[in-house]
Copies of this chain bind each other. A is one copy, B any other.
């Protein structure tokens, strides 16, 4: 059996242990939802206050010439370098994941005229599926669903089985938002390319949790969010990646003034600017973008390799503790057992998952998240989550189920996330 002392010993040996103090987490909270909303870096408060008081309050409009106009690309480059394995000039901070996904999917389809199929995963995150559905409807395209295992996720063979000469775009999440399954980005990209299709990866659940090497894998397009493992704040702007070789060939469907060549000439017609800026749309939020910039600095300092190593240890501990305590209590593990095949979160299912989740929050000050219909997701953010938090979290779940404490909370669906 793995004891609480074992977990404490792992924390004592953790080279990233000191990072927790760089975040403003409440002492009495066991926060296991950093994969949904990352914690607040202490430096972000000060950074934002500076942006608000100095850049907005004192410099006002002049700040657009003093750094704001470059923010989408400056922060994009930081994300590219430290998170995505992308060289400069290929990543921009912009809009939401949804809007970026819409823009890049539209641009990709325009670049593959005559091909009528979008290959997608029916288990993908809803916003991806809905955008695919809407675009397919408006363009009279076919969405070809993959038949992937819900726990193990999409394999190269699953993709190989459906791509063909009609495939315009293959779009998938690198890490599944429910199971945490980690797809083989390199091999799937290769298979899509062999069929002449473009790939559009959603990196929301992988960015900041696993090493990513978009350039080396020859990825075409990607989007992702910054409010999970990158700690950019609630609803923080998303990122988009367009490989340099494709930038001049693609034009997003939204022709906005931030994507215009010689923007402030305000000329009569839209001429997309060269480079990644053409994928911007309207005026970006500087307050929201600055919080992302602040969060990335901390991430860059810690380094993705150390983060991934700890992430693997955290999820491995969770799986061991699941085997020891939860398997016998009606839970099912719905995350791959192979650490190399999963991202930074672990999901279990249980018929009473909703009430268990609520009881964890209300009775145990432990915050996981619930996913319909019966999923309990435990997200481990290596910069803030301690091994003892994993131990305590699983122990709380065990207690709630063994003692049926979940019967004390209502089963009415009030929770938003």
Contacts and interface: CB of A to CB of B under 8 A. Distances in A.
Contact of A65 (B31, B371, B416): B416
A33 to B, nearest CB: 5
B56 A233 contact: yes
B282 A127 contact: yes
Nearest to A238: B282
A133 to B, nearest CB: 5
Contact of A367 (B40, B53, B61): B61
Nearest to A252: B134
A286 B233 CA distance: 8
A128 to B, nearest CB: 9
A60 B33 contact: yes
Contacts of A29: 60
A291 B287 contact: yes
B282 A227 contact: no
A244 interface: no
A40 B61 contact: no
Interface string A17-40: 000000011100101010011011
Contact of A138 (B253, B283, B417): B253
Contacts of A173: none
B285 A126 contact: no
A63 B234 contact: yes
Interface residues of A, number: 87
Interface in A138-169: 138
A281 interface: yes
Contacts of A257: 98, 125-127, 130
Interface stretch (A266-274, A316-324, A330-338, A396-404): A266-274
B24 A57 contact: yes
A131 interface: yes
A68 interface: yes
Interface in A215-236: 225, 227, 233-236
B234 A56 contact: yes
A369 interface: yes
A283 B97 contact: yes
B65 A414 contact: yes
Contacts of A45: 49, 52-53, 57
Contact of A39 (B60, B69, B282): B60
Contact of A235 (B138, B236, B284, B361): B284
A76 interface: no
Interface in A276-330: 281-289, 291
Most chain B CB neighbours (cut-off 10 Å) among A269, A270, A284: A270
Nearest to A145: B268
A122 interface: yes
A270 B130 contact: yes
Given A33-B60, A37-B60, A52-B45, A96 B416 contact: no
Given A98-B254, A361-B62, A416-B264, A287 B369 contact: no
B33 A234 contact: no
A284 B60 contact: no
Interface in A77-127: 95-99, 102, 122, 125-127
7 contacts: A37-B64, A95-B96, A97-B283, A134-B270, A234-B286, A235-B288, A287-B287
Interface of A: 24-26, 29, 31, 33, 36-37, 39-40, 44-45, 48-49, 52-53, 55-58, 60-65, 68-69, 95-99, 102, 122, 125-127, 129-131, 133-134, 138, 225, 227, 233-238, 253-258, 260, 263-270, 281-289, 291, 361, 367, 369, 371-372, 413-417
Given A26-B58, A52-B233, A233-B285, 15 more contacts: A24-B58, A31-B60, A37-B60, A44-B52, A45-B52, A95-B95, A96-B284, A97-B283, A126-B257, A127-B256, A127-B257, A127-B258, A133-B255, A134-B270, A264-B417
